[in-house]
Amino acid sequence: MNKAQASNNILLQTSVILKLELIESCCHEALVGQVTFEVPTLPGRDIQICAMSQLPPKPGLSTKEGHARLLHDLANIELQAMELGFRTLVELSEEAPESFRQQLVEVILDEARHLKLCLRQIERLGHSWGEWPSHLGLWSCVSLEDSLLERLVIVHRYLEGSGLDASDKIQRRLSGTQIVGTDKVVGVIAEEEVGHVLFGSNWFREFCKSETGETDPDRVFNEILRSVFPRLPRRLERLNHEIRKKAGFSVSEISALEQIRLGQMSHA
């Protein structure tokens, strides 16, 4: 029997406020599995969308506007992270163990909370969601054809992993400003994101073993990274080896990422 379409779907919903109100019940429905969720080509938005390269210049962090813009960019990342996690839950996790699905929901709900923290601080600074355009660059990195292993590499280990490298630098820049509140929001997010990347690292190894019988997950990581890299955003950020290790990266995986980074630098 065909399952009915879910009556509320955060991927189709355009309002960010309604997405946040609905995310918990959507995750619950997805876990129960009695309805299906349509995955649109692009997720619904209530603000202007543009290419990453078309985003307006960022004001400096000595102004409230600069802080609000930083948080707006971060909110856009958190929103896409929430949607990408939900997309994996409804597209790819049916065969995965219940513990994976439960942990994925925890990650999704963390992203929702991070998004709320950003939106609240933007308002406190006297600005609002939608004041600047946003991109859908993260959403566009995944495809319907991805395997669960590819999704873990793309979303949790590459995209979220790149966020770990960047957050250290942002926190240092914020520590030199007089405007309060933003540093706390960024600090909470930076700390919790390590857990999200670790979730990706641990399950990547687990699925490598159980799904493919592979004894060398580092080799699989290297292979998948190179095959999906052409569709990922170019990151020139210096890798933070210490945080990467905390987030479950092996020395060999870090060196695969460094090789790719240096390769793109030499072509830049």
| Contacts with Fe ion, residue ranges (CB under 5 A) | 78, 81, 111, 114, 160, 193, 196
Alpha-carbon distance 165 to 127, whole Å?
A: 27
Q: In the chain, where do the E strands start and end?
A: 4-5, 35-36
60: three-class secondary structure by DSSP: coil
Cβ proximity to Fe ion, 196 vs 261, nearer residue: 196
* Angle of CA points 256, 111, 16, to nearest 5°: 125
Task: Say how far residue 57 (Cα) sits from the centre of its chain.
Answer: 23
Cβ proximity to Fe ion, 93 vs 222, nearer residue: 93
- Please report how close the Cβ of residue 85 comes to Fe ion at its closest, in angstroms: 8
- Please report how close the Cβ of residue 188 comes to Fe ion at its closest, in angstroms: 9
Is 175 within 8 Å of 247 (Cβ atoms)? no
Backbone φ/ψ region at 129: left (φ over 0), alpha (ψ -120 to 50), beta: beta
Cβ proximity to Fe ion, 38 vs 191, nearer residue: 191
Query: Which residue from 212, 211, 214, 217 is spatially nearest to 248, judged by alpha carbons?
Result: 217
56: three-class secondary structure by DSSP: coil
- Please report how close the Cβ of residue 26 comes to Fe ion at its closest, in angstroms: 17
Cβ proximity to Fe ion, 78 vs 83, nearer residue: 78
- Please report how close the Cβ of residue 69 comes to Fe ion at its closest, in angstroms: 18
- Please report how close the Cβ of residue 83 comes to Fe ion at its closest, in angstroms: 12
Cβ proximity to Fe ion, 80 vs 222, nearer residue: 80
